[in-house]
């Protein structure tokens, strides 16, 4: 299934691929019968990433390409694919190349010629050194179609099969970029500093296309959500408001409706099987010393779903396509970071190369990968710099902490008396931080678009919900909150799985007393987090207890935050003296960060199923 491409034929080049003496005014522009698409659709001078153009058109491989115009730009190599309807053109862009345009010239076997204009732009000032998200951030996760619909004009579009207006559990609800923009102040007011949108790219599956994870065009925002231009404008508006944008990337699989599925450039552009073969989802194959070739092939090459063909990143043209694609969107839309879906499902060395390439272009960019496992060694394996026994380095700087998420969800559904249950699960999970290369650069979360709402998991118990949010806002790493969880929103109907989970943000939440109360509590916690060095940069000291409580300090030399979580059906007096190795250096008076009230720590009593988060000062 995975082979080195051998069907590569270099075409002869015209005049060193320059053809600069040609008067392009005399050559007609290509039409759709000659060139269907060129990707990436544009590029920039001063980039580290090599430019390899995918040119698609009927029998385009029979044409002889050349290049005209463009200072410091030339064709380095031309490669035919197995399909006659593709060419791959490597373009060299010199360090001193000037922004502007050049023309690709194509000469057909009958001697006729046509041209295609390609643009090279200037990069934004400081683009390569752009910042990203990290421990100072709190990320708001939303699913565009299921968030807020403000533009009714794009609810049904001619170029898409699945029409908005079918508000069944797996139908489209009409959420769009205009809806996201309308909620930016709301999101910022919550204390959030970044937004992670699940994919906004075109998903043209005939049913259940709302989630966006079955991409039909990697360079096009779904028209039911907006346009490339409106997405770019949204990011600019977010930056004005101090918010960052994180793009969801899916290099592991495309959608069955992707345009290239009708005519693959190479037969192994995607993994093909005699009959449908699903991935075995066994992440352990990547670090398994006894793994069979069969199991490895099914893990990396099996399809994620019947509508999601598995991309073959071992094909160098596929890999280069995705390297350029990620860089293109960062540069085009001025993005602040990436999230990668189903990270271990990819071929591990190519996806490592992908991460490395993106970070060579943007050294400070953060990329978080989904590694959905509760097995600590398997999750730790995927973070960059981890001392893996096989020497593998993913170059993935951040990972999602499913281990803590699993421990937390179980902990708040267990009573005291279980030896390693209840809050001991969280203590033990945190103790495993010794196995992670960079615990600060890990995404912590109570749930996301693939899990139940945290309110579902807790039986809509407000006290336990508060405990979870106190933990999320003060624990190491950086938090991600799924839209609606700040209001303690529940799924519409869990028997419908994802379709019942992914619902619109409640519009009238202020009129719901419980939602309004949760909103205000959440807002107080996360706005405090925005200004706390102890939470963002501090060390952690936690204390063991088998009484179903959990206590920890986050601290720097100047700033201390103490969190105490009582997961019992009765009140609990904070055992302040038990923490004397640290508490003796602190004033016994603290400030409740939510209420603002003064707290006398050696007399503090925490009600049943409640958290206490206190700001403390060192003794003079």
**What backbone torsions phi and psi does residue 553 show, to the nearest 5 degrees?**
-110, 140
Are 494 and 456 contacting, i.e. CB atoms less than 8 angstroms apart? yes
Which two three-digit tokens encode residue 165? 């207006």
pLDDT average per 10 residues of sequence, the chain (620 residues): 36 41 86 97 98 98 96 97 98 97 96 97 97 98 97 92 82 96 98 98 96 98 98 98 98 98 98 96 91 95 96 98 98 98 97 98 98 96 96 98 97 83 96 97 98 97 98 98 98 92 94 98 98 98 95 97 97 97 96 97 97 96
Q: Give the integer Cα–Cα distance in Å for 83 and 156.
A: 34
pLDDT of residue 598: 98
Question: Model-level pTM?
Answer: 0.95
Q: Give the integer Cα–Cα distance in Å for 526 and 476.
A: 14
pLDDT of residue 166: 67
* Secondary structure of residue 55 in the 3-state scheme: strand
Query: Measured between alpha carbons, how far is residue 209 from residues 53, 151, 534, 594 in Å?
Result: 29, 18, 42, 41
β-pair partners for 86: 56
- Only one residue has tokens 């999970």, namely 429
pLDDT of residue 24: 87
pLDDT of residue 417: 65
Q: What is the DSSP string of 364-396?
A: T-EEEE------HHHHHTTSTT---TT------
Are 574 and 606 contacting, i.e. CB atoms less than 8 angstroms apart? yes
Domain ranges (residues) in the chain: 15-123, 537-616
pLDDT of residue 201: 98
Q: Give the integer Cα–Cα distance in Å for 267 and 286.
A: 25
Domain 15-123 classified CATH 3.40.1390.10? no
589-592 and 610-616 strand pairing: antiparallel
CATH hierarchy code of domain 537-616: 2.60.40.1180
pLDDT of residue 214: 97
Q: Give the integer Cα–Cα distance in Å for 242 and 229.
A: 20
Angle at 302 between CA 211 and CA 445, to 5 degrees: 45
What amino acid positions are annotated as catalytic residues? 341, 370
Two domains, one topology: 15-123 and 537-616 = yes
Chain centre to alpha carbon of residue 146: 17
């Amino acid at each position: 299934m995975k082979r080195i491409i051998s069907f590569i034929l270099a075409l002869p080049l015209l005049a060193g691929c320059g053809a600069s003496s040609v008067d392009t005014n005399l050559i007609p522009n290509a039409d759709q019968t000659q060139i269907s698409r060129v990707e990436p659709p544009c590029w920039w001078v001063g980039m580290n990433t090599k430019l390899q153009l995918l040119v698609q058109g009927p029998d385009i491989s029979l044409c002889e390409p050349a290049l005209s115009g463009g200072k410091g730009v030339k064709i380095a190599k031309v490669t035919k694919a197995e399909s006659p309807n593709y060419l791959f053109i490597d373009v060299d862009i010199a360090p001193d190349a000037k922004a502007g345009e050049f023309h690709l010239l194509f000469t057909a076997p009958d001697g006729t010629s046509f041209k295609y204009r390609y643009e090279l732009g200037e990069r934004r000032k400081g683009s390569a050194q752009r910042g990203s998200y990290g421990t100072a951030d709190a990320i708001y996760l939303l699913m565009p179609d299921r968030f807020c619909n403000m533009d009714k004009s794009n609810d049904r579009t001619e170029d898409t099969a699945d029409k908005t207006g079918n508000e069944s559990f797996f139908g489209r609800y009409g959420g769009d970029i205009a809806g996201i923009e309308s909620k930016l102040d709301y999101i910022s007011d919550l204390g959030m500093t970044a937004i992670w949108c699940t994919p906004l790219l075109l998903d043209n599956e005939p049913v259940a296309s709302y989630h966006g994870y079955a991409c039909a065009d990697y360079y096009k925002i779904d028209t039911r959500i907006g346009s490339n231009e409106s997405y770019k404008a949204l990011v600019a508006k977010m930056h004005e408001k101090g918010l960052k944008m994180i793009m969801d990337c899916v290099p592991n699989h495309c959608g069955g409706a992707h345009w290239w599925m009708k005519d693959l450039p190479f037969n192994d552009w995607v993994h093909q099987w005699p009959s449908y073969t699903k991935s075995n989802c066994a992440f352990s194959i990547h670090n398994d010393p006894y793994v069979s070739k069969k199991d490895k092939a099914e893990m990396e090459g099996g399809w994620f779903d019947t509508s999601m063909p598995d991309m073959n990143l071992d094909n160098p043209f596929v890999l280069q396509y995705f390297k350029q694609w990620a860089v293109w969107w960062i540069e085009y839309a001025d993005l602040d970071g990436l999230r990668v879906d189903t990270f271990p499902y990819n071929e591990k060395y190519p996806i490592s190369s992908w991460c490395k390439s993106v970070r060579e272009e943007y050294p400070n960019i953060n990329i978080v990968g989904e590694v959905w496992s509760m097995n600590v060694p398997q999750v730790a394996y995927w973070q960059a710099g981890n001392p893996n026994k096989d020497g593998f380095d993913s170059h993935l700087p951040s990972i999602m902490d499913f281990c803590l998420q699993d421990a937390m969800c179980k902990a708040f559904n267990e009573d005291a008396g279980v030896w390693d249950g209840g809050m001991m699960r969280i203590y033990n999970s945190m103790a495993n931080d010794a196995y992670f290369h960079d615990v600060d650069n890990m995404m912590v979360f109570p749930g996301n678009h693939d899990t139940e709402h945290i309110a579902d998991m807790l039986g809509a118990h407000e006290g336990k919900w508060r405990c979870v949010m106190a933990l999320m806002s003060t624990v190491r790493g950086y938090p991600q909150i799924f839209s609606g969880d700040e209001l303690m929103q529940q799924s519409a109907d869990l028997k419908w799985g994802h379709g019942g989970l992914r619902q619109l943000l409640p519009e009238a939440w202020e009129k719901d007393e419980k939602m309004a109360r949760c909103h205000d509590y959440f807002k107080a916690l996360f706005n405090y987090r925005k200004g706390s060095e102890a939470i963002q940069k501090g060390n952690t000291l936690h204390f063991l207890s088998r009484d179903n409580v959990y206590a920890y300090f986050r601290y720097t030399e100047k700033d201390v935050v103490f969190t105490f979580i009582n997961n019992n059906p009765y009140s609990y007096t904070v055992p302040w003296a038990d923490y004397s190795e640290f508490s003796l250096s602190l004033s016994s008076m603290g400030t409740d960060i939510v209420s603002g009230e003064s707290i006398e720590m050696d007399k503090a009593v925490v009600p049943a199923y409640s958290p206490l988060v206190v700001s403390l000062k060192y003794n003079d």
